[in-house]
Structure 1
């Protein structure tokens, strides 16, 4: 712990008056429901020192101010009475202002005090335009004057109003101060500034927590984080910065978010640096064109509303909960599944995400994760973040690396923005090495590849290029970056399966391609055929019956040992991805019946595609390249393919073909021999 003490000492020397001991924030925060940046603004004024006596005095002063001036909703009446009795009183509250055109004046609404229509001098509104959208925390001196003549007017009047924000910021102080610390020390300081204790966190978790801050330093940065509850996903956007706003509950309108045509005022994206949506599953636009405008804005930072084209620099953050385990989600659907239906199948919407932060890698918050040591006053760090939005490091990759061929224009922009944002956080002074950039670049590529891997599941071949890589300009070595959760957990396991077990891929009625497992068993009996797992799916049932009829008619041509009269055949189908059954099961089930009857397993890691009629005619596979892609994603190393589909091989990208061994069959019996490895 001595190193920590040293770091605290150094931080207090280099940034005197800009740091605060974070346990003080916790201490007071528990008693007052006010955002962290409000508390630390006060602590910064009265307790930004490492002298124990001064700290104690400062803390008492802050407590006094909060108990005297901070408006608790349940004590609103007491405070109103105090303003009346004293004629003037200072309060701390969240203030939102609106123009009342009927009387041509600005009027304030006080969130905790519960007052509305309180006149506000116009000069404050001009100076602090955020009062008009979403509101800001302020220290307000209130006057009380009751006029018999003007009964309709509020007797409460705003005398002076001071937003709780740093008035100005000297960036040179940050740049020169940063040179006194190593990379790891600086990351630890940033962690403590947001209230976390770095000694309790793994290196990778620290990087994830840093990435949560990128939307605050980078313009028009779109990020999503889905993960378990209790990992602090929305904390940064709600508590930590007076420049970001959290839209809770998800319900919103185009007027509120983008532009109100009636009042001709720009919405949240024009006033805040970062707009975060809590609980993505609940995002609903009351307007039909809401998602379209949002897509437009996420792609270009501008949107058209009426006759006007508007620009804004807000970043968009989407946070939400994943209720299943990631393995299950990856097997059964995709990692964007928690989004509402109108977005969940819209690949163009997700293609605009610059990073997918794996929330499941961040541990649930425990008391020992919160720090008691020194970090920057939140307000100071929020202003540093805000100033950094004016700078750019998007070209920092170019000096050392170039990106691989699989990255299209959108991927390149996403990776560059992430790299730029992380450099602004870790190396704000612009002093970094090739190794520093490489470390950030790998992390940036991983997050964008996670987006692309899910797009491939939703949108198919259009998003096939996911082998993200970068090339070192000096050595010309190429390095491929993978995504941790993509490994293992395949639907089609490696190694030999049981006799009668077959994996098949095919399209369902809605055109989605799924992977299914057929399990066949032979028991002594009278030639019955029992099917389970089929439900009311007529097409699947007919296809399975076709296979059995063909099997009984042709069993002797494969093996004389097969008896269809003294055996019962039991079959169960599993829909491995939960997307509904396909009717393209004939060939696979025929193979399964022979495999079970002869007690001979099919080839290992094999998927079967194609269907047959009662007469044994083989149908051509529709959407061949995508079906093959699904087989490979599911873990197939070999795919049994109808000979009629040979011509379609040219539609398949070459790097997909090298991953799989195609085995062609010309008729149903040929398929059985090849699947069982009998040539």
Structure 2
């Protein structure tokens, strides 16, 4: 950040900024969340004077050394509380209702204390104590009497003995901002231009924006949308080490990271026994780390999650509950995106119970391409000034009360391919990004257009994968937006879909042919048959189908038909003096295909005649041993797979002509289509020798 912007930040947000190198310096020696550190740094280092900053840093280090509870020093801290009578500690505590004593009891994360009585007032004021716990600064005292009489004469439990911890919470203060003046914030925001403000936001979460290009900056911003937007569902999958979960674990005290993935309906949504709302009711954002491990102990867990992700409500027992927490799913992709797109889909890392559940993924508002974010390096973390994390978190929380989704309507309308869920998803993303970049509500047409394009891309990425999972139900993926003034339509694509086509341009080798068939996993996929001819005695060898009986029978049908009918194709074909080796490649990992007879026959004729099939052609359909041609099942879905693979020409059996009305016209128009009436006709048209 140049000195001018740094000075503006100091002037606009005096007392609410911190030098992030101080955070980094202390963080390296203390395993404590960033917002805890910056709470202390904001108290003791809010100055420009280097000597005062150094003194403040030493003070913060002293507080952390003396008061922050390290698990291995828990006994020493307990002893200090006992011997000194009163002692201040920094720890994460969680409270639970103890029905037997009609009181709230706290558990200390690092100190290891249990059954510490918490004043009812604290629990009512800070409900998150009951949902996962919060970091607090506490003044603790010690009561040497283990069994204490209830002194409250008005209590129905008066006179009863209550076994509880001798440790007493004298004072409790959550580590969070007490008050947020939004007018003051908007006044400060107006002193920055767009680029300066984006850089300020990134520095506030610890990133150094000068190390990233603009697209990466937007991805880093998008990670913050669930913190400013209610009921926002975000998915980010990518390589390890790109900081996917950092912001939800370290930056915001209003977000909780569910590590490992295993949870229960009671913990996440509603506990019917205690009649308490779970994490979604207590936190602004619930993030799941390592999506591959997401499991529910309850059979209806995923169904309830789908209900909540769609509507922000869920039914338990006789009641329907509402909550506003956003859901974030982060995880690792263990192979390159190109490979994943060719062999599966981009939601593949999710557990088996979800991996092919199109209804679940349709509820995702945005798919953040984690593979476009570089792995974190030391220089990617900033040493400049940024907003105190505490202040930033409260700003995010306040912005959740506002909605900028209708900003689209001032300048644009969305294209016809977007259904209602798509529109909701795009509006939520637009609203979230505008809240982050233009929280004061001052933006123009170009600003909104930039955000709309980004929002459409992320939702289209979801839809492209749904198309692979659910077929023609999700065919409408050509997302666009129209200018209200000029009526010009702008189409938005996703970068990874435009490259890496399975079927390359140009002429292939003789005997090499592509087809689309259903694999033994039940999914449609592209298959490539490669055939080689060598001098020999008429042997046929096949590889690539393993022990699959139906596939082998199909290939044997092709071989026998080739032997019996080769002269009807060309009198020059000689089987007896050659050997034929055929290999079947499953290009998309859908399992072994069975309907391979007709395309294998075309491949054998092609290699025997030394003629390649036409460029970017896919041969569809199948045949029997007698040469009867069968039509293509699920023609629309099959053609969609062809289009995604890069096919430009298709060869169809005439019997499939009756199914053409089932194919969307704009999809069918993508191909040069030829029809055949017999296997021999298919050979002539595939090789272009009519």
Shift of 1:340: 0.3
Shift of 1:49: 2.1
1:327-406 aligned within 5 A: 327-406=338-417
1:449 and 1:87 mapped to 2: Cα distance? 61
**Paired residue secondary structure (1:399):** helix
Partner of 1:33: 31
2:532 and 2:476 mapped to 1: Cα distance? 40
2:163 and 2:229 mapped to 1: Cα distance? 47
Partner of 2:239: 228
1:315 and 1:97 mapped to 2: Cα distance? 23
Going from structure 1 to structure 2, the CA distance change for 1:149 and 1:21 (only over 3 Å counts) comes to: closer
Shift of 1:59: 1.1
Partner of 2:158: none
**Paired residue secondary structure (1:556):** helix
**Paired residue secondary structure (1:398):** helix
Q: 1:191 aligns with which of 183, 191, 202?
A: 202
Aligned length: 677
1:75 and 1:430 mapped to 2: Cα distance? 49
Asked if the contact 1:500–1:595 (Cα under 8 Å) also holds between the matched residues in 2, the reply is yes
Partner of 1:417: 428
Going from structure 1 to structure 2, the CA distance change for 1:21 and 1:149 (only over 3 Å counts) comes to: closer
Partner of 2:586: 575
Q: 1:123 aligns with which of 104, 110, 121?
A: 121
Unaligned runs of 5+ in 1: none
Pairing 1:79–2:72 present:
no
1:98 and 1:123 mapped to 2: Cα distance? 14
Pairing 1:138–2:136 present:
yes
Partner of 2:479: 468
Shift of 1:534: 1.5
Q: 2:284 aligns with which of 251, 273, 286?
A: 273
**Paired residue secondary structure (1:589):** helix
Asked if the contact 1:492–1:635 (Cα under 8 Å) also holds between the matched residues in 2, the reply is yes
Please, what TM-score do these two structures have when normalized by structure 1?
A: 0.99
2:93 and 2:2 mapped to 1: Cα distance? 39
Partner of 2:151: none
Pairing 1:308–2:306 present:
no
Partner of 1:108: 106
Asked if the contact 1:12–1:49 (Cα under 8 Å) also holds between the matched residues in 2, the reply is no
Going from structure 1 to structure 2, the CA distance change for 1:46 and 1:660 (only over 3 Å counts) comes to: same
Shift of 1:658: 1.3
**Paired residue secondary structure (1:58):** helix
**Paired residue secondary structure (1:255):** helix
Q: 2:643 aligns with which of 627, 632, 641?
A: 632
Q: 1:508 aligns with which of 519, 524, 530?
A: 519
User: Which stretches of structure 1, 4 residues or longer, exceed 6 Å deviation after superposition?
Assistant: none
1:449-598 aligned within 5 A: 449-598=460-609
Give deviations 1:296-339, integer Å, cap 9, x for gaps. 00000000000000000000000000000000000000000000
Give deviations 1:427-466, integer Å, cap 9, x for gaps. 0000000000000000000000000000000000000000
1:447 and 1:57 mapped to 2: Cα distance? 47
Partner of 2:157: none
2:436 and 2:448 mapped to 1: Cα distance? 13
2:171 and 2:469 mapped to 1: Cα distance? 55
Shift of 1:470: 0.3
**Paired residue secondary structure (2:314):** strand
Asked if the contact 1:12–1:50 (Cα under 8 Å) also holds between the matched residues in 2, the reply is no
**Paired residue secondary structure (1:397):** helix
Bigger mean CA deviation after superposition, 570-579 or 318-327: 570-579
2:187 and 2:665 mapped to 1: Cα distance? 52
1:195 and 1:536 mapped to 2: Cα distance? 55
**Paired residue secondary structure (1:471):** strand
1:585 and 1:613 mapped to 2: Cα distance? 11
Partner of 1:321: 332
Partner of 2:216: 205
Going from structure 1 to structure 2, the CA distance change for 1:583 and 1:51 (only over 3 Å counts) comes to: same
Q: 1:651 aligns with which of 645, 649, 662?
A: 662
Asked if the contact 2:226–2:232 (Cα under 8 Å) also holds between the matched residues in 1, the reply is yes
Partner of 1:15: 13
1:432 and 1:484 mapped to 2: Cα distance? 27
Asked if the contact 1:71–1:79 (Cα under 8 Å) also holds between the matched residues in 2, the reply is yes
**Paired residue secondary structure (2:187):** helix
Give deviations 1:619-640, integer Å, cap 9, x for gaps. 1211111111111111110111
Shift of 1:6: 1.8
Bigger mean CA deviation after superposition, 627-636 or 478-487: 627-636
1:302 and 1:674 mapped to 2: Cα distance? 57
Partner of 2:452: 441
1:534 and 1:247 mapped to 2: Cα distance? 42
1:423 and 1:576 mapped to 2: Cα distance? 41
**Paired residue secondary structure (1:123):** helix
Asked if the contact 2:522–2:590 (Cα under 8 Å) also holds between the matched residues in 1, the reply is no
**Paired residue secondary structure (2:345):** coil
Shift of 1:211: 0.2
1:72 and 1:122 mapped to 2: Cα distance? 27
1:203 and 1:116 mapped to 2: Cα distance? 49
Partner of 1:214: 225
Q: 2:308 aligns with which of 287, 297, 301?
A: 297
1:603-622 aligned within 5 A: 603-622=614-633
**Paired residue secondary structure (2:375):** coil
1:422 and 1:49 mapped to 2: Cα distance? 32
Asked if the contact 2:520–2:590 (Cα under 8 Å) also holds between the matched residues in 1, the reply is no
Bigger mean CA deviation after superposition, 149-158 or 115-124: 149-158
1:147 and 1:629 mapped to 2: Cα distance? 75
2:266 and 2:288 mapped to 1: Cα distance? 16
Shift of 1:148: 6.0
Asked if the contact 1:610–1:618 (Cα under 8 Å) also holds between the matched residues in 2, the reply is yes
Shift of 1:556: 1.4
Partner of 1:167: 178
Going from structure 1 to structure 2, the CA distance change for 1:78 and 1:542 (only over 3 Å counts) comes to: same
Pairing 1:52–2:50 present:
yes
Going from structure 1 to structure 2, the CA distance change for 1:389 and 1:148 (only over 3 Å counts) comes to: closer
Shift of 1:9: 1.3
1:126 and 1:666 mapped to 2: Cα distance? 77
Bigger mean CA deviation after superposition, 228-237 or 63-72: 63-72
**Paired residue secondary structure (2:423):** helix
2:3 and 2:208 mapped to 1: Cα distance? 13
